[in-house]
Amino acid sequence: ETGVTQTPRHLVMGMTNKKSLKCEQHLGHNAMYWYKQSAKKPLELMFVYNFKEQTENNSVPSRFSPECPNSSHLFLHLHTLQPEDSALYLCASSQDGRRETQYFGPGTRLLVL
């Protein structure tokens, strides 16, 4: 266990649904990240939060909406997704938002029908 948990582990949703992914870290870190992992592509950084403030939005479509209520919790709200959004969504945390070791959760496997 890395100290980063994600729920749900698997999610199937239709294009008109609204769902949320949850991430929680128990490491006392101040920075949290959302990544998208698709087959045969590098990990794509989506969002970065440092001390609850969003410091990076990597040109992510507005159908993905992050929320960071505190340094331990991170959400990704999903609405009107497309089939090409199907992927593994990984959450990570680090001591701060600089070039430090990141610890990943197990991911949420998302399938959009």
Partner 1 sequence: GENVEQHPSTLSVQEGDSAVIKCTYSDSASNYFPWYKQELGKGPQLIIDIRSNVGEKKDQRIAVTLNKTAKHFSLHITETQPEDSAVYFCATDNTDKLIFGTGTRLQVFP
Chain residues in the site for partner 1 (CB under 8 A): 2, 4, 6, 40-43, 45, 48, 55-56, 90, 92, 97-99, 101-107
Q: For partner 1, which is the closer residue by CB, 6 or 81?
A: 6
N-term to C-term CA, the chain: 31
Q: Minimal distance in Å, beta carbon 81 to partner 1?
A: 21
Token pair recorded at residue 59: 């040109």
Written as six digits, the tokens of 24 are 């929680």
What's the closest the beta carbon of residue 80 comes to partner 1, in angstroms?
27
Residue pair 67/77 in contact by the 8 Å Cβ criterion: yes
CB of 48 or CB of 76, closer to partner 1: 48
Is-contact 19 111, C-beta < 8 A? no
